[in-house]
Amino acid sequence: MAEVNLLARYPKSKRNVKARVGNKEENRALAMKFGKEYFDGTREQGYGGFRYDGRWIPIAEDIVHHFGLKAGDSVLDIGCAKGFLVKDLMKVCPGLEVFGIDVSNYAILNCEPEVVGRLHVGDARNLPFPDGSFKAALSINTIHNLNRAGCITALKEMQRVAPVGGYVQVDAYRNPAEEKIFLDWVLTAQTHGTPEQWVTLLHEAGYQGDYFWTILELDPAWTITGES
């Protein structure tokens, strides 16, 4: 188990944190459905338009390199949304067998054409795959949407289906200032904490894969930068 940032080449985006302070509970309730509003509604409700733009290509390259993936290997993306990373992993490593699972029916129905048939609607806590099915399982900014017990179950499931390769990334904050930004911005996360608290949880789950954090940082103009 190692701390490694496989999203180091993901572009940083700027956000107006104030935009989400009002109407938060209404927007949170909508976002938690992981439907059209969350992906393709307003920025206050979620992504504000979740469209493919190739930004996952460098991350896919780094994932392939990190796990030594090659044609014929199988990879699962848990919380795959519309399948952008699934598509780009197949693009950068032809012959790699990549699949995705996501709780959002909307995301799977609106997936990239190249990944039709590779994505399934399902829950990270109950992966419908036999033990050891994958050389690597990835879960990026997804399991923190579950409560603590759910996170542990999801991590055990990752470990079960991909015992030799895992990468999980979750929201975290390192100090009270970052925690405040996090609480003002984030809509759907149910479990959150410091990197140290997350490491305790990963150990508790018996998770042996790699991990990193999405940390929202304040910039001087009262906007924030981060991964999602």
Ligand X SMILES: C[S@@+](CC[C@H](N)C(=O)[O-])C[C@H]1O[C@@H](n2cnc3c(N)ncnc32)[C@H](O)[C@@H]1O
Other CB atoms within 10 Å distance of the CB of residue 112: 15
| Binding residue (CB under 6 A) for ligand X from 146, 158, 181, 186 | 146
- Residues in contact with ligand X, shown as a per-residue x/- string from 52 to 91 under the rule CB under 6 A: ---------------------------x-x----------
If one asks whether residue 34 binds ligand X (CB under 6 A), the answer comes out as: yes
Question: What sign does the CA torsion over 156, 161, 166, 168 have?
Answer: negative
Provide, for the chain, the percentages of residues in helix, strand and coil under a 3-state DSSP scheme, each rounded to the nearest 5: 35, 20, 45
Rounded-to-integer distance, Cα 223 and Cα 217, Å: 9
Applying CB under 6 A, the site for ligand X has a residue count of: 15
| Binding residue (CB under 6 A) for ligand X from 140, 162, 168, 172 | 140
- Closest separation between CB of residue 170 and ligand X, Å? 10
Q: Which two tokens stand for residue 78?
A: 């848990």
Q: What is the DSSP letter of 20?
A: G
What residue type is 113 in one-letter code? P
Measured in residues, the chain has a length of: 228
- Closest separation between CB of residue 38 and ligand X, Å? 7
If one asks whether residue 191 binds ligand X (CB under 6 A), the answer comes out as: no
If one asks whether residue 228 binds ligand X (CB under 6 A), the answer comes out as: yes
If one asks whether residue 134 binds ligand X (CB under 6 A), the answer comes out as: no
On whether the CB atoms of residues 155 and 143 are closer than 8 A, the answer is yes
DSSP assignment of 40-56 equals: HS-TTTSSSS----STT
Nearest to ligand X of 124, 205 (CB atom): 124
- Residues in contact with ligand X, shown as a per-residue x/- string from 89 to 118 under the rule CB under 6 A: -------------xxx--x-----------
- The residues that touch ligand X, with contacts defined as CB under 6 A, are 34, 79, 81, 102-104, 107, 123-124, 140-142, 145-146, 228
